[in-house]
C-alpha cells in the first residue's frame, strides 16, 4: 500500500470511551472521516447537542456520493461497570462482526491537597481512570482475541503520568495516569503474541471542559500553563487526531507498548 493508504480506517470498527465530548469526540470524528464505523461510549443517556451536530457532519461526509463509509453511533456506558462494559462492547462487535480499534479516553480530574485526600474520593477517581481503563481494554481485547483480529488498543494517559503539573494538587490524577502507562505495557506484552497492540497517548494541557473547570476558577492560570511548555500555548482537542489515527491505523503496525507524548514540549523541560 501507498504510505497514505496506511492511514485509512476504511472497513475498521472502532470504539471510543469518553467519546461524547472533548478529546474522545475529536478522535471519533477523525476515525469516521478516515472511513471507520465508530461507536462513542459515554455516561449521559443521550448524546449532547454537540455530538448530534458531529454525527450530522459524518453522515454528510459518508452519505451517498461520499467516497468513505464512515459512521458515528452513540451508546451509553459507564466504564466503571465491568460486566456492562464487556456486554456493550460484545454487542457492538457481534453486530459489526469485528472490532479493530478501541480508545479508552473516559477520565476524570479532581484536585485536593495531598494531606487531605478523602479515601472514597481517591477511590472514585481510580475507579474511572484506572479500573475503567482496564475494563475497557479487557472488553475490546476479548472481542479481538476471540475473532483473531490484530487490533489496536489505545489508552489515553497524560504527561501527568510522568511529571507532576507545577502548582496543581493532583496526586490522585497523577498516580492514576502513571498506572495507565504500566497497564498499557502489561497489556502490550500479554497480548502481543495474539498480534493485538496496546499503546498510550500522553497529552499535555488541552483546552477542554476538563481543564476549563480549573481555568475558569483562576484568572492567571492560562498564562501560567502556557509558559510551561516550549510552544507557549495549550493544545486544541483536534490536535490529538493525528496521533490517534497513527496508532489506530496500519501506519503503526510495529508500535506496541509505547507512550506517545503530545505535550508541546512540557516534559522536555
Ligand atoms: P472531558 O471531560 O471533556 O471528557 C471526558 C469524557 O469522559 C466525558 O464525556 C465524560 O462524560 C466521560 N466519562 C467520565 N467518566 C466516565 C465513565 N465512568 N464512563 C464513561 N465515560 C465517562 O475531558 P478531556 O479533556 O476530553 O479528557 C479525555 C481524556 O484525556 C481523559 O482521560 C483525560 O484524563 C485525558 N487528558 C486530558 C488532558 C487535558 O488537558 N484536557 C490532558 C491529558 C490527558
Report the complex ipTM: 0.99
Q: Which residue lies with its CA nearest to atom 2 of ligand 1? A: 210
Q: Which three cell numbers stand for residue 31?
A: 476515525
pLDDT of residue 206: 98
Confidence (pLDDT) at 68: 66
Q: What is the pLDDT of residue 64?
A: 65
Q: Note if 207 is an active site residue.
A: no
Q: What is the pLDDT of residues 140-191, one digit of tens each?
A: 999 999 999 999 999 999 999 999 999 999 999 999 999 999 999 999 999 9
Report d(CA 38, CA 54) in Å as an integer: 12
CB atoms within 10 A of CB 62: 19
Does the Cβ of 206 fall within 6 Å of ligand 1?
A: yes
At residue 65 the predicted structure's pLDDT band, cuts being 50, 70 and 90, is low
State the average pLDDT over residues 249-256: 98
The length of the chain is 269
If one residue of 45, 180, 210, 262 were mutated to test the ligand 1 pocket, choosing by the most ligand atoms within 8 A of its CB, it would be 210
Nearest Cα residue to atom 13 of ligand 1? 106
For position 152, what pLDDT does the model report?
99
Q: What is the mean pLDDT of residues 186-205?
A: 98
Q: Which of 228, 203, 227, 225 is nearest to 212 (CA)?
A: 225
Percentage of the chain exceeding pLDDT 70: 98
**Full-prediction pTM beyond 0.95?**
yes
Amino acid at each position: 500500500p501507498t504510505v497514505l493508504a496506511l492511514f485509512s480506517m476504511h472497513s475498521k470498527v472502532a470504539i471510543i470511551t469518553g467519546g461524547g465530548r472533548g478529546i474522545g469526540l475529536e478522535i471519533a470524528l477523525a476515525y469516521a472521516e478516515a472511513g471507520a464505523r465508530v461507536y462513542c461510549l459515554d455516561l449521559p443517556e443521550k448524546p449532547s447537542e454537540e455530538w448530534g451536530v458531529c454525527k450530522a457532519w459524518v453522515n454528510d461526509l459518508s452519505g451517498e456520493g461520499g467516497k468513505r463509509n464512515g459512521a458515528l453511533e452513540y451508546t451509553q456506558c459507564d466504564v466503571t461497570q465491568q460486566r456492562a462494559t464487556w456486554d456493550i462492547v460484545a454487542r457492538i462487535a457481534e453486530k459489526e462482526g469485528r472490532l479493530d480499534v478501541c480508545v479508552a479516553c473516559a477520565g476524570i480530574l479532581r484536585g485536593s491537597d495531598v494531606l487531605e485526600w478523602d479515601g472514597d474520593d481517591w477511590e472514585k477517581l481510580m475507579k474511572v481512570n484506572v479500573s475503567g481503563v482496564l475494563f475497557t481494554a479487557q472488553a475490546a481485547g476479548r472481542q479481538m482475541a476471540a475473532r483473531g483480529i490484530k487490533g489496536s488498543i489505545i489508552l489515553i494517559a497524560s504527561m501527568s503520568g510522568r511529571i507532576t503539573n507545577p502548582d496543581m494538587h493532583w496526586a490522585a490524577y497523577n498516580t492514576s495516569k502513571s498506572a495507565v502507562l504500566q497497564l498499557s505495557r502489561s497489556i502490550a506484552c500479554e497480548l502481543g503474541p495474539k498480534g493485538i497492540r496496546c499503546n498510550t497517548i500522553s497529552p499535555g494541557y488541552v483546552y477542554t471542559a476538563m481543564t476549563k473547570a480549573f481555568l475558569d476558577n483562576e484568572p492567571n492560570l492560562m498564562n501560567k500553563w502556557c509558559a510551561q511548555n516550549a510552544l507557549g500555548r495549550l493544545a486544541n482537542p483536534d490536535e490529538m487526531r493525528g496521533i490517534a489515527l497513527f496508532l489506530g491505523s496500519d501506519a503503526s503496525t510495529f508500535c506496541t507498548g509505547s507512550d506517545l507524548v503530545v505535550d508541546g514540549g512540557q516534559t522536555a523541560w
